[in-house]
Amino acid sequence: MTEPLDLFSTPDAPDSPGPILDAAAAAPTEAPDLDTLRERAAVCTACELYEGTTGTVFGTGPATARMMFVGEQPGDQEDRALEPFVGPAGRLFDGALVEAGIAREDAYVTNAVKHFSFRRQGNRRIHQTPKVGHVRACRPWLDGELALVRPHVLVTLGATAGKALLGASFRITAERGQPRPWQDTMLVPTIHPSAILRADPNRGQDADEMRAGFVEDLRTAAGLLS
């Protein structure tokens, strides 16, 4: 399950992280199973993000999952645990799944970028939005996961994941919660749970309203399985 990349900018755009190795060669997508793909991803050096992190944070969940969630990238706690969505955003995500009637253990959860992108501030590692080159370098791993899981419903969490699969014209505010066919599955874009944690009342953002909308989008996705 692959699609031509149409991301945030051109390959030589200023926000590109610099030279990218041959990701397709480093990350063959025709692995026989998720365990093999995970082993290959663990030694990925297709972009510079592998430097200074604990390791590759690969997806988790059953290969038979009918629903797949794609987020942006691992955060600090995810990098330390080498598991996706285990930090504060992950806990909010888990609670929203329960409200929407979705069992996380039945879903496959991963990210568009599989290493933590950050800047240091004293002893802290502060999240930085991954660049187009990071998304491009990790795309073969995501393609491999999609090909092996073959979900019936695919949910993108946040703008980075949405643009990674739907292209640079994707706009989260205009298109969230709207199911659309994508290759041989149905795709529902929604916000990333971390956006709810960062809700700013000074910008007219209400965390409770954002969470309620997020849960409703998850219910829309769950309804497509019926």
Angle at 155 between CA 200 and CA 41, to 5 degrees: 100
Confirm if 154 and 189 have CB atoms less than 8 A apart.
no
What is the DSSP code (8-state) at residue 166? H
Instruction: List alpha helices for the chain, DSSP H.
Output: 23-26, 34-41, 76-81, 88-100, 132-149, 159-166, 172-175, 193-197, 207-223
The answer to whether residue 218 scores a pLDDT higher than 60 is yes
Q: CB–CB of 167/7 below 8 Å?
A: yes
| Coil vs helix vs strand at 46 | coil
- pLDDT for 18: 36
pLDDT digit string (tens) for 55-104? 999 999 999 999 999 999 999 999 999 999 999 999 999 999 999 999 99
d(C-alpha 180, C-alpha 132), whole Å: 24
Tokens of 120: 């240091």
What is the separation of C-alpha 50 from the centre of its chain, rounded to a whole number of angstroms?
A: 17
Average pLDDT, the chain: 88
| Structure confidence by residue, pLDDT tens digits, 138-182 | 999 999 999 999 999 999 999 999 999 999 999 999 999 999 999
Residue 29's pLDDT band (boundaries 50, 70, 90)? low
pTM: 0.88
pLDDT at 9 over 70: no
* Half-sphere exposure (Cβ direction) of 167: Cα atoms closer than 13 Å: 5
